[in-house]
Amino acid sequence: GQLGVRCDALAGDFADQAEALLAHVQAVLEVRPSRATLLQLLVPLAGPGQLSAGLAGLIRTAHLEHPQLLGQLIVTDDTDAADVLAARLQECARDADTAEVRYQDGVRSTRAWVALEATAPQRPWKDGGVYLLTGGTGTLARILAREIATRARGAVLVLAGRRGPDAASRQQVRELEALGAVVELHALDVTDRAAVRRLVLQVQEQHQALDGIVHAAGVLRDGLLLNKSPQALREVLAPKVSGLL
């Protein structure tokens, strides 16, 4: 019970922060800045506040839509000293094209993509594994379910989605079963904590295992950030944030 309350509070805090950040971004964009404008998001390295790093997605999207707006996520363990934080912000501002920076034990790191050289890449799926996929009838989950069924012999795929079984999802089941998977369909609202708990317990009791969860649930509310309403933002966040927690 207490864990559920904490999760609900974290989800609410994140949604509030996202709404406030959206309003700030919209205020910046409404004046149509003629030159580059830097927006820095400062987040603690540890504790519940580190979840706010997920807001970087919003400022990345803002930059894609409006290249003049530069977004920067700064994660640091120096959260108590105002003069140190000011120095961090100024240092990062001089390198405004770097989107993500981390300060840990006085060491500055930047995030970058590195090619992984591997002759035999390891995959997370195992033969006979039991996997729960939220958003199970959506496009992303369909791709991943096929990948699991192809790579892992005799895998059990529990597909959970908001919509109940229909003709399209039943066809999906037949295709996965043809690949050797055992497939189940369940109707599930991932924002309903009690329903998620019941399904997880049911899967573990029935199959004596739960080897992985793919959280692919989501709703689509396309539109430019400048025109995005707080309500639409919260509808998009609900399955992603509450569902994850």
Per-residue pLDDT of the chain (245 residues; tens, 9 = 90+): 666 667 778 888 889 999 999 999 999 888 887 789 999 999 999 888 898 999 999 999 999 989 999 999 999 998 778 898 999 999 999 999 999 999 999 899 999 888 877 666 678 999 999 999 999 988 899 999 999 999 999 999 999 998 767 778 888 999 999 999 999 999 999 999 999 999 999 999 999 999 999 999 987 777 777 778 888 888 888 888 888 88
Taking a C-beta distance cutoff of 8 angstroms, is the pair 19, 59 a contact?
Answer: no
The whole-angstrom separation of Cα 91 and Cα 84 is 10
Taking a C-beta distance cutoff of 8 angstroms, is the pair 65, 226 a contact?
Answer: yes
Residue 88's pLDDT is 92
% helix, strand, coil for the chain, step of 5: 50, 20, 35
Structure tokens at 156: 């059990």
Taking a C-beta distance cutoff of 8 angstroms, is the pair 39, 70 a contact?
Answer: yes
Residue 243's pLDDT is 86
Structure tokens at 92: 């990062």
Residue 122's pLDDT is 77
